Amino acid sequence: MKNIVILISGGGSNMAAMVKTSERERWQSRFGARIAAVVSNKADAKGLVFAKERGIATHVLDHKAFPTREAFDDALAALIDPYNTPSHPVLVVLAGFMRILTPGFVERYAGRLTNIHPSLLPAFTGLHTHQRAIDAGCKYAGCTVHLVTGELDHGPILEQAVVPVLPNDTADTLAARVLTQEHVIYPRAIASLLSK
Protein backbone atom coordinates (compact mmCIF):
# COMPACT_ATOMS: atom_id res chain seq x y z
CA MET A 1 0.00 0.00 0.00
CA LYS A 2 1.18 3.49 -0.80
CA ASN A 3 -0.28 6.67 0.64
CA ILE A 4 -0.62 9.58 -1.74
CA VAL A 5 -0.75 13.04 -0.15
CA ILE A 6 -1.78 15.83 -2.53
CA LEU A 7 -0.80 19.44 -1.82
CA ILE A 8 -2.99 22.22 -3.27
CA SER A 9 -3.45 25.98 -2.94
CA GLY A 10 -6.62 26.69 -4.91
CA GLY A 11 -9.09 25.19 -7.33
CA GLY A 12 -7.67 21.71 -7.05
CA SER A 13 -8.80 20.56 -10.48
CA ASN A 14 -5.63 18.47 -10.91
CA MET A 15 -6.27 16.88 -7.51
CA ALA A 16 -9.88 16.15 -8.49
CA ALA A 17 -8.74 14.60 -11.78
CA MET A 18 -6.27 12.44 -9.84
CA VAL A 19 -8.97 11.29 -7.40
CA LYS A 20 -11.43 10.47 -10.20
CA THR A 21 -8.79 8.60 -12.20
CA SER A 22 -7.65 6.66 -9.13
CA GLU A 23 -11.24 5.55 -8.56
CA ARG A 24 -11.93 4.71 -12.22
CA GLU A 25 -8.65 2.84 -12.62
CA ARG A 26 -8.91 1.17 -9.20
CA TRP A 27 -5.45 2.22 -8.05
CA GLN A 28 -6.13 0.65 -4.66
CA SER A 29 -6.42 -2.88 -6.03
CA ARG A 30 -4.01 -2.39 -8.97
CA PHE A 31 -1.19 -0.62 -7.17
CA GLY A 32 -2.12 -0.83 -3.49
CA ALA A 33 -2.26 2.96 -3.52
CA ARG A 34 -4.80 5.33 -2.07
CA ILE A 35 -5.14 9.09 -1.94
CA ALA A 36 -4.86 9.41 1.81
CA ALA A 37 -4.98 13.17 2.32
CA VAL A 38 -5.23 16.58 0.69
CA VAL A 39 -3.32 19.46 2.28
CA SER A 40 -3.85 23.12 1.44
CA ASN A 41 -1.92 26.17 2.56
CA LYS A 42 -5.10 28.19 2.09
CA ALA A 43 -8.24 27.60 4.17
CA ASP A 44 -10.55 28.75 1.35
CA ALA A 45 -9.06 26.51 -1.35
CA LYS A 46 -12.01 25.24 -3.37
CA GLY A 47 -10.40 21.86 -3.81
CA LEU A 48 -10.87 21.10 -0.10
CA VAL A 49 -14.63 20.91 -0.61
CA PHE A 50 -14.27 18.26 -3.32
CA ALA A 51 -11.82 16.22 -1.25
CA LYS A 52 -14.11 16.27 1.79
CA GLU A 53 -17.07 15.19 -0.34
CA ARG A 54 -15.01 12.22 -1.51
CA GLY A 55 -14.26 11.25 2.09
CA ILE A 56 -10.58 12.14 1.86
CA ALA A 57 -8.83 13.54 4.95
CA THR A 58 -8.12 17.25 4.53
CA HIS A 59 -5.69 19.52 6.35
CA VAL A 60 -5.08 23.26 6.21
CA LEU A 61 -1.67 24.64 7.07
CA ASP A 62 -1.60 28.41 6.65
CA HIS A 63 1.91 29.48 5.61
CA LYS A 64 1.24 32.98 6.99
CA ALA A 65 1.20 31.51 10.50
CA PHE A 66 4.90 30.62 10.25
CA PRO A 67 7.83 33.02 10.55
CA THR A 68 10.04 31.33 7.95
CA ARG A 69 9.81 28.96 5.01
CA GLU A 70 11.75 26.41 7.04
CA ALA A 71 9.25 26.56 9.91
CA PHE A 72 6.34 26.10 7.50
CA ASP A 73 8.03 23.19 5.73
CA ASP A 74 8.86 21.52 9.06
CA ALA A 75 5.18 21.73 10.03
CA LEU A 76 4.20 20.43 6.59
CA ALA A 77 6.53 17.45 6.96
CA ALA A 78 5.14 16.78 10.45
CA LEU A 79 1.67 16.71 8.92
CA ILE A 80 2.68 14.41 6.05
CA ASP A 81 4.88 12.00 7.99
CA PRO A 82 2.06 10.10 9.76
CA TYR A 83 1.09 9.03 6.22
CA ASN A 84 4.65 7.81 5.65
CA THR A 85 5.30 4.44 7.30
CA PRO A 86 7.50 1.50 6.26
CA SER A 87 4.43 -0.39 5.04
CA HIS A 88 2.79 2.71 3.53
CA PRO A 89 5.50 4.91 1.98
CA VAL A 90 4.16 8.29 1.02
CA LEU A 91 4.10 9.87 -2.43
CA VAL A 92 3.79 13.65 -2.21
CA VAL A 93 1.98 15.17 -5.20
CA LEU A 94 2.12 18.94 -5.71
CA ALA A 95 -0.98 19.97 -7.65
CA GLY A 96 -1.20 23.73 -7.96
CA PHE A 97 0.66 24.14 -4.66
CA MET A 98 1.97 27.69 -4.98
CA ARG A 99 4.74 27.59 -2.40
CA ILE A 100 8.45 27.20 -2.98
CA LEU A 101 9.71 24.31 -0.88
CA THR A 102 12.97 24.38 1.05
CA PRO A 103 15.91 22.10 0.17
CA GLY A 104 15.35 20.18 3.42
CA PHE A 105 11.77 19.32 2.51
CA VAL A 106 12.70 18.35 -1.05
CA GLU A 107 15.51 16.13 0.24
CA ARG A 108 13.22 14.44 2.76
CA TYR A 109 10.86 13.21 0.02
CA ALA A 110 13.41 12.92 -2.79
CA GLY A 111 12.24 10.59 -5.56
CA ARG A 112 8.66 10.60 -4.28
CA LEU A 113 7.80 14.26 -4.69
CA THR A 114 6.17 15.29 -7.98
CA ASN A 115 4.96 18.55 -9.49
CA ILE A 116 2.95 19.70 -12.47
CA HIS A 117 3.98 22.90 -14.18
CA PRO A 118 1.96 24.71 -16.86
CA SER A 119 4.69 25.00 -19.50
CA LEU A 120 6.90 22.81 -21.63
CA LEU A 121 9.86 22.74 -19.26
CA PRO A 122 12.66 23.72 -19.35
CA ALA A 123 10.93 26.73 -21.00
CA PHE A 124 9.08 29.19 -18.79
CA THR A 125 9.82 28.16 -15.25
CA GLY A 126 8.10 30.27 -12.57
CA LEU A 127 4.88 32.27 -12.91
CA HIS A 128 2.74 33.70 -15.76
CA THR A 129 3.79 30.90 -18.11
CA HIS A 130 0.89 31.29 -20.54
CA GLN A 131 1.28 35.03 -21.07
CA ARG A 132 5.02 34.58 -21.49
CA ALA A 133 4.49 31.84 -24.10
CA ILE A 134 2.08 34.13 -26.02
CA ASP A 135 4.45 37.11 -25.74
CA ALA A 136 7.33 34.99 -27.02
CA GLY A 137 5.29 34.05 -30.10
CA CYS A 138 5.28 30.34 -29.26
CA LYS A 139 3.21 28.22 -31.65
CA TYR A 140 2.94 25.48 -29.05
CA ALA A 141 2.62 25.42 -25.28
CA GLY A 142 1.89 22.67 -22.82
CA CYS A 143 2.50 21.20 -19.41
CA THR A 144 5.08 19.05 -17.66
CA VAL A 145 5.02 16.54 -14.81
CA HIS A 146 8.41 16.20 -13.14
CA LEU A 147 10.13 14.94 -10.03
CA VAL A 148 10.96 17.82 -7.73
CA THR A 149 14.61 18.66 -7.10
CA GLY A 150 16.27 21.55 -5.30
CA GLU A 151 15.98 23.87 -8.32
CA LEU A 152 12.56 25.46 -8.95
CA ASP A 153 10.61 23.80 -11.81
CA HIS A 154 13.51 21.50 -12.69
CA GLY A 155 13.99 17.78 -12.16
CA PRO A 156 13.53 14.65 -14.25
CA ILE A 157 10.58 14.94 -16.63
CA LEU A 158 7.93 12.20 -16.28
CA GLU A 159 5.28 13.35 -18.79
CA GLN A 160 4.57 16.25 -21.11
CA ALA A 161 1.65 17.29 -23.29
CA VAL A 162 1.64 19.84 -26.11
CA VAL A 163 -1.21 22.12 -27.21
CA PRO A 164 -1.30 24.71 -30.01
CA VAL A 165 -1.21 28.43 -29.22
CA LEU A 166 -4.03 29.92 -31.34
CA PRO A 167 -3.89 33.39 -32.91
CA ASN A 168 -6.46 35.01 -30.59
CA ASP A 169 -5.39 33.25 -27.42
CA THR A 170 -5.31 35.12 -24.14
CA ALA A 171 -3.49 33.77 -21.10
CA ASP A 172 -6.87 32.49 -19.87
CA THR A 173 -7.89 30.64 -23.04
CA LEU A 174 -4.45 29.08 -23.34
CA ALA A 175 -4.45 28.13 -19.64
CA ALA A 176 -7.80 26.38 -20.04
CA ARG A 177 -6.51 24.38 -23.05
CA VAL A 178 -3.37 23.40 -21.16
CA LEU A 179 -5.33 22.48 -18.02
CA THR A 180 -7.40 19.85 -19.87
CA GLN A 181 -4.11 18.16 -20.77
CA GLU A 182 -2.78 18.48 -17.20
CA HIS A 183 -5.77 16.42 -16.08
CA VAL A 184 -4.70 13.67 -18.48
CA ILE A 185 -0.94 13.54 -17.96
CA TYR A 186 -0.71 13.99 -14.18
CA PRO A 187 -2.76 10.89 -13.26
CA ARG A 188 -0.98 8.98 -16.02
CA ALA A 189 2.44 9.94 -14.64
CA ILE A 190 1.46 8.96 -11.10
CA ALA A 191 0.00 5.63 -12.25
CA SER A 192 3.25 4.95 -14.04
CA LEU A 193 5.29 5.77 -10.90
CA LEU A 194 3.02 3.52 -8.81
CA SER A 195 3.40 0.61 -11.22
CA LYS A 196 7.19 0.53 -10.76
Residue 96 as a binder of ligand GAR (CB under 6 A): the answer is yes
Segment contacting ligand GAR (CB under 6 A): 31-39, 57-65, 72-80, 111-119?
111-119
**Residue 100 assigned to a binding site:** yes
Most distant CA pair in the chain, distance? 52
Residue 187 as a binder of ligand GAR (CB under 6 A): the answer is no
Closest residue to ligand GAR in the complex (CB) = 96
d(CA 2, CA 50): 22
Bridge partners for 146 per DSSP: 115, 157
| Overall size of the chain counted in residues | 196
Residue 13 as a binder of ligand GAR (CB under 6 A): the answer is yes
Segment contacting ligand GAR (CB under 6 A): 9-17, 76-84, 105-113, 163-171?
9-17
In the 3-class helix/strand/coil scheme, how is 55-121 assigned residue by residue? CCEEEECCHHHCCCHHHHHHHHHHHHHHHCECCECEEEEECCCCCCCCHHHHHHCCCCEEEEECCCC
Please identify every residue annotated as catalytic: 117
CA 14, 15, 17, 21 torsion-angle sign: positive
Number of residues that bind ligand GAR (CB under 6 A): 14
| Sole binder of ligand GAR in the list 18, 33, 51, 95 (CB under 6 A) | 95
| Sole binder of ligand GAR in the list 117, 133, 163, 169 (CB under 6 A) | 117
Are 150 and 161 a contacting pair, CB within 8 Å?
A: no
Which amino acid appears at position 185 of this protein? I
Minimal distance in Å, beta carbon 29 to ligand GAR?
Answer: 26
Residue 159 as a binder of ligand GAR (CB under 6 A): the answer is no
Residues lying near ligand GAR in the complex (CB under 6 A):
8, 10-14, 95-96, 116-118, 143, 179, 182
Can you say which residues are annotated as belonging to the binding site for (6R)-10-formyltetrahydrofolate? 69, 98-101, 115
